[in-house]
Protein backbone atom coordinates (compact mmCIF):
# COMPACT_ATOMS: atom_id res chain seq x y z
CA UNK A 1 0.00 0.00 0.00
CA UNK A 2 1.29 3.43 -0.89
CA UNK A 3 1.56 6.01 1.94
CA UNK A 4 -0.81 8.36 0.11
CA UNK A 5 -3.59 5.75 -0.12
CA UNK A 6 -6.36 6.03 2.46
CA UNK A 7 -6.64 3.17 4.92
CA UNK A 8 -9.65 0.99 4.26
CA UNK A 9 -11.77 0.55 7.35
CA UNK A 10 -11.25 -2.90 8.81
CA UNK A 11 -8.75 -3.86 6.12
CA UNK A 12 -6.50 -5.61 8.62
CA UNK A 13 -3.43 -4.06 7.01
CA UNK A 14 -2.54 -2.16 10.18
CA UNK A 15 -3.56 -2.61 13.79
CA UNK A 16 -6.57 -0.62 14.89
CA UNK A 17 -5.56 2.48 16.83
CA UNK A 18 -5.70 1.87 20.58
CA UNK A 19 -7.09 5.40 20.92
CA UNK A 20 -10.43 3.99 19.72
CA UNK A 21 -10.60 2.04 22.98
CA UNK A 22 -11.89 5.26 24.53
CA UNK A 23 -15.10 4.37 22.68
CA UNK A 24 -15.15 0.56 22.83
CA UNK A 25 -18.16 0.14 20.53
CA UNK A 26 -16.32 2.01 17.76
CA UNK A 27 -13.29 -0.20 18.36
CA UNK A 28 -15.42 -3.36 18.02
CA UNK A 29 -16.92 -1.99 14.77
CA UNK A 30 -13.41 -1.48 13.37
CA UNK A 31 -11.75 -4.63 14.67
CA UNK A 32 -13.82 -7.74 14.06
CA UNK A 33 -10.75 -9.94 14.28
CA UNK A 34 -10.94 -10.09 18.08
CA UNK A 35 -13.76 -11.63 20.13
CA UNK A 36 -15.13 -9.10 22.65
CA UNK A 37 -18.14 -11.28 23.41
CA UNK A 38 -16.93 -12.16 26.89
CA UNK A 39 -17.63 -8.58 28.02
CA UNK A 40 -20.14 -7.14 25.56
CA UNK A 41 -22.73 -9.92 25.56
CA UNK A 42 -23.18 -10.05 29.36
CA UNK A 43 -23.46 -6.25 29.52
CA UNK A 44 -26.14 -6.32 26.84
CA UNK A 45 -28.00 -9.12 28.61
CA UNK A 46 -28.18 -6.94 31.74
CA UNK A 47 -29.22 -3.73 29.99
CA UNK A 48 -31.52 -4.80 27.17
CA UNK A 49 -35.26 -5.01 27.42
CA UNK A 50 -37.36 -7.94 26.29
CA UNK A 51 -38.42 -5.99 23.19
CA UNK A 52 -34.76 -5.76 22.11
CA UNK A 53 -34.79 -9.57 21.60
CA UNK A 54 -31.02 -9.51 22.04
CA UNK A 55 -30.78 -13.22 22.94
CA UNK A 56 -31.69 -14.28 19.40
CA UNK A 57 -29.18 -11.90 17.82
CA UNK A 58 -26.43 -13.00 20.21
CA UNK A 59 -27.21 -16.67 19.53
CA UNK A 60 -27.00 -16.09 15.75
CA UNK A 61 -23.73 -14.18 16.09
CA UNK A 62 -22.19 -16.88 18.31
CA UNK A 63 -23.33 -19.67 15.98
CA UNK A 64 -21.83 -17.99 12.91
CA UNK A 65 -18.64 -17.14 14.79
CA UNK A 66 -18.31 -20.68 16.14
CA UNK A 67 -18.82 -22.22 12.70
CA UNK A 68 -16.33 -19.82 11.09
CA UNK A 69 -13.76 -20.69 13.77
CA UNK A 70 -14.43 -24.42 13.23
CA UNK A 71 -13.78 -24.00 9.49
CA UNK A 72 -10.75 -21.70 9.89
CA UNK A 73 -7.98 -24.34 10.28
CA UNK A 74 -9.13 -26.08 7.09
CA UNK A 75 -9.42 -22.76 5.25
CA UNK A 76 -5.90 -21.81 6.28
CA UNK A 77 -4.52 -25.20 5.25
CA UNK A 78 -6.20 -25.20 1.83
CA UNK A 79 -5.13 -21.65 1.08
CA UNK A 80 -1.57 -22.44 2.14
CA UNK A 81 -1.51 -25.54 -0.11
CA UNK A 82 -2.97 -23.53 -2.97
CA UNK A 83 -0.39 -20.77 -2.58
CA UNK A 84 2.52 -23.19 -2.09
CA UNK A 85 1.80 -25.26 -5.18
CA UNK A 86 0.28 -22.51 -7.30
CA UNK A 87 -2.74 -24.64 -8.17
CA UNK A 88 -6.38 -23.71 -8.29
CA UNK A 89 -8.72 -24.61 -5.45
CA UNK A 90 -10.93 -27.63 -6.01
CA UNK A 91 -14.71 -27.31 -6.24
CA UNK A 92 -15.00 -28.73 -2.71
CA UNK A 93 -12.43 -26.23 -1.38
CA UNK A 94 -14.28 -23.36 -3.03
CA UNK A 95 -17.44 -24.56 -1.32
CA UNK A 96 -15.73 -24.54 2.07
CA UNK A 97 -14.42 -21.01 1.43
CA UNK A 98 -17.90 -19.90 0.44
CA UNK A 99 -19.39 -21.36 3.64
CA UNK A 100 -16.67 -19.71 5.72
CA UNK A 101 -17.23 -16.33 4.05
CA UNK A 102 -20.99 -16.64 4.57
CA UNK A 103 -20.59 -17.22 8.31
CA UNK A 104 -18.14 -14.34 8.67
CA UNK A 105 -20.37 -12.02 6.62
CA UNK A 106 -23.49 -12.87 8.67
CA UNK A 107 -21.53 -12.35 11.89
CA UNK A 108 -20.32 -8.92 10.76
CA UNK A 109 -23.71 -7.80 9.48
CA UNK A 110 -25.51 -8.87 12.67
CA UNK A 111 -22.86 -7.25 14.84
CA UNK A 112 -22.85 -3.96 12.91
CA UNK A 113 -26.55 -3.71 12.10
CA UNK A 114 -28.13 -5.18 15.24
CA UNK A 115 -25.78 -5.55 18.19
CA UNK A 116 -23.80 -2.31 18.10
CA UNK A 117 -26.82 0.00 17.58
CA UNK A 118 -28.62 -1.66 20.51
CA UNK A 119 -25.44 -1.41 22.60
CA UNK A 120 -25.21 2.33 21.82
CA UNK A 121 -28.80 2.79 22.98
CA UNK A 122 -28.70 0.60 26.09
CA UNK A 123 -25.21 0.65 27.62
CA UNK A 124 -24.46 3.28 30.22
CA UNK A 125 -21.28 5.34 30.43
CA UNK A 126 -20.21 3.13 33.33
CA UNK A 127 -20.77 0.02 31.16
CA UNK A 128 -18.66 1.55 28.39
CA UNK A 129 -15.87 2.42 30.84
CA UNK A 130 -15.85 -1.19 32.10
CA UNK A 131 -15.85 -2.53 28.54
CA UNK A 132 -13.00 -0.20 27.57
CA UNK A 133 -11.00 -1.12 30.68
CA UNK A 134 -11.32 -4.87 30.02
CA UNK A 135 -10.46 -4.49 26.33
CA UNK A 136 -7.38 -2.41 27.19
CA UNK A 137 -6.33 -4.89 29.88
CA UNK A 138 -6.52 -7.85 27.44
CA UNK A 139 -4.18 -5.95 25.13
CA UNK A 140 -1.72 -5.05 27.88
CA UNK A 141 -2.53 -1.34 27.61
CA UNK A 142 -2.87 1.01 30.58
CA UNK A 143 -6.33 2.12 31.62
CA UNK A 144 -7.53 5.66 30.88
CA UNK A 145 -7.48 8.01 33.87
CA UNK A 146 -10.79 7.97 35.76
CA UNK A 147 -13.21 10.74 34.92
CA UNK A 148 -15.81 12.21 37.21
CA UNK A 149 -18.53 12.90 34.67
CA UNK A 150 -22.07 12.15 35.78
CA UNK A 151 -24.13 9.41 34.12
Write out pLDDT tens, residues 20-46. Answer: 778 888 777 766 555 877 789 999 999
What is the band of 15 on the pLDDT scale with cuts at 50, 70, 90? low
Distance CA 60, CA 43 (A): 17
Distance CA 120, CA 136 (A): 19
Who wins on pLDDT, 43 or 138?
Answer: 43
Distance CA 144, CA 131 (A): 12
Q: What is each CA distance from 63 to 68, 99, 106, in whole angstroms?
A: 9, 13, 10
CB of 137 closer than 8 Å to CB of 143: yes
Who wins on pLDDT, 138 or 66?
Answer: 66
Q: What is the mean pLDDT of residues 113-120?
A: 94
Judge whether residue 81 has pLDDT over 50: yes
Distance CA 95, CA 89 (A): 10
Amino acid sequence: MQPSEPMLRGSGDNPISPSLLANPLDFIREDHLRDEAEDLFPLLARRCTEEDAIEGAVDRIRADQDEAMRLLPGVRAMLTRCLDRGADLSTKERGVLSMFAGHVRRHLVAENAILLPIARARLTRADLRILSKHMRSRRGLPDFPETTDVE
